[in-house]
Amino acid sequence: MAMENATTLHGANLKHCYSQPSVSHHAMPLSMVGAGEKVRVKSISGKDETRRFLCNLGFVEDAEVSVVSELGGNVIVVVKGTRIAISKAMANRVLAV
């Protein structure tokens, strides 16, 4: 795959953006993580465009994510030192442990 040959994107290896989701009994969608909890990204599901979008925001494999709150259908998180609001639909695509 051509994307595997790319070196980096904003300091993140592109291979982590495009890895296929793996099934884990302990992983749960980011939308299910409670406020104040810290988790690590296990995988991202969805179309390539969605996975690329989340990767560009910093949601890469093994990145630490801290959930701040859920407000108005959005999930507010801190990823790589930046506070970000994503929709619940997007948060459902991020599997975390």
Q: How many domains does the chain have?
A: 1
Reported confidence tier of residue 69, pLDDT bands at 50, 70, 90 = very high
Q: How does DSSP classify residue 46?
A: S
Give the CA distances from residue 2 to residues 18, 59, 64, 70, 94, in Å, rounded to whole numbers and listed in that order: 11, 21, 27, 37, 24
- Whichever domain contains 37, its CATH number is 2.30.30.90
Contact 66, 77 (CB under 8 A): yes
CA–CA gap between residue 47 and residue 55 (Å, rounded): 12
pLDDT by residue (tens digit) across 3-54? 433 334 444 455 556 555 555 568 999 999 999 999 999 999 999 999 999 9
CA–CA gap between residue 95 and residue 97 (Å, rounded): 7
- Provide the whole-model pTM: 0.76
Q: Give me the domain span that covers residue 21.
A: 2-96
Reported confidence tier of residue 1, pLDDT bands at 50, 70, 90 = very low
